[in-house]
């Protein structure tokens, strides 16, 4: 008997096993809640959504026309790139009435909105080639689409 008692103190007290388990579960729940709040803040959706733009191509008139576009898309937020260095482009807004701009214009579309009827007119001079035009929406850095046209 004395051999079993040699490590016990006379006044030793401990927390019961039930209380210990309850404390461990409470600590685990608190840590899980903290991790959830941290991760849900990082996963929270972006405020700017990528808009939808649908275009059609017309090789006879060398243009890419906007068929449909979501509201509140500004041309200044759209980057137009081409894969052919000799091709030039010009955007006609407002259904082609009066407003137009190209990549060398200072405002690059200004406050004009992308609407159905707007179009990108391509020019290759006397050359003929396929030109791929890509539209990228800068606020979300997302691809709106790519269209190839034989100019």
* Tens-digit pLDDT profile for residues 70-129: 888 888 888 888 887 777 888 887 655 556 666 555 446 567 788 888 888 888 777 777
Do the domain assignments include residue 106? yes
Do the domain assignments include residue 44? no
Do the domain assignments include residue 34? no
Domain count, the chain: 1
Do the domain assignments include residue 74? yes
Give all strands (DSSP E) within 45-125, no chain letters: 53-58, 63-69, 78-82, 88-92, 100-101, 119-123
Do the domain assignments include residue 103? yes
Do the domain assignments include residue 41? no
- Residue 16 is encoded by which pair of tokens? 């019961």
* Tens-digit pLDDT profile for residues 39-75: 877 666 556 678 888 888 888 888 888 888 888 888 8
133: pLDDT strictly greater than 50 = yes
- Any idea what the CATH number is for the domain that residue 81 is in? 2.60.40
Please name the helix (run of DSSP H) or strand (run of DSSP E) that holds residue 4, with its range, or none.
none
Do the domain assignments include residue 116? yes
- If DSSP codes are grouped into helix, strand and coil, which group holds residue 12? coil
Do the domain assignments include residue 13? no
Full domain range(s) for residue 67: 53-150
Contacts of 79 (CB under 8 A, 6+ apart): 135, 136, 138
User: How many C-beta neighbours within 10 Å does residue 121 have?
Assistant: 19
Do residues 131 and 122 lie in contact, with contact meaning Cβ atoms separated by under 8 Å?
yes
Give this prediction's pTM.
Answer: 0.61
- Residue 106 is encoded by which pair of tokens? 């200072």
């Amino acid at each position: 008997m004395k051999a079993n008692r040699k490590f016990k103190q006379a006044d030793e007290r401990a927390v019961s096993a039930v209380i210990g388990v309850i404390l461990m579960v409470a600590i685990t729940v608190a840590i899980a809640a903290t991790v959830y709040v941290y991760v849900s803040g990082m996963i929270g959706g972006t405020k700017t959504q990528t808009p939808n733009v649908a275009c059609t191509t017309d090789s006879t008139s060398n243009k890419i026309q906007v068929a449909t576009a979501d509201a509140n898309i500004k041309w200044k937020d759209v980057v137009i790139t081409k894969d052919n260095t000799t091709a030039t482009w010009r955007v006609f807004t407002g259904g082609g009435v009066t407003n137009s701009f190209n990549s060398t214009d200072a405002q690059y579309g200004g406050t004009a909105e992308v609407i159905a009827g707007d179009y990108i007119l391509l020019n290759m001079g006397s050359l003929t080639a396929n030109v791929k035009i890509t539209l990228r929406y800068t606020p979300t850095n997302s691809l709106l689409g790519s269209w190839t046209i034989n100019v």
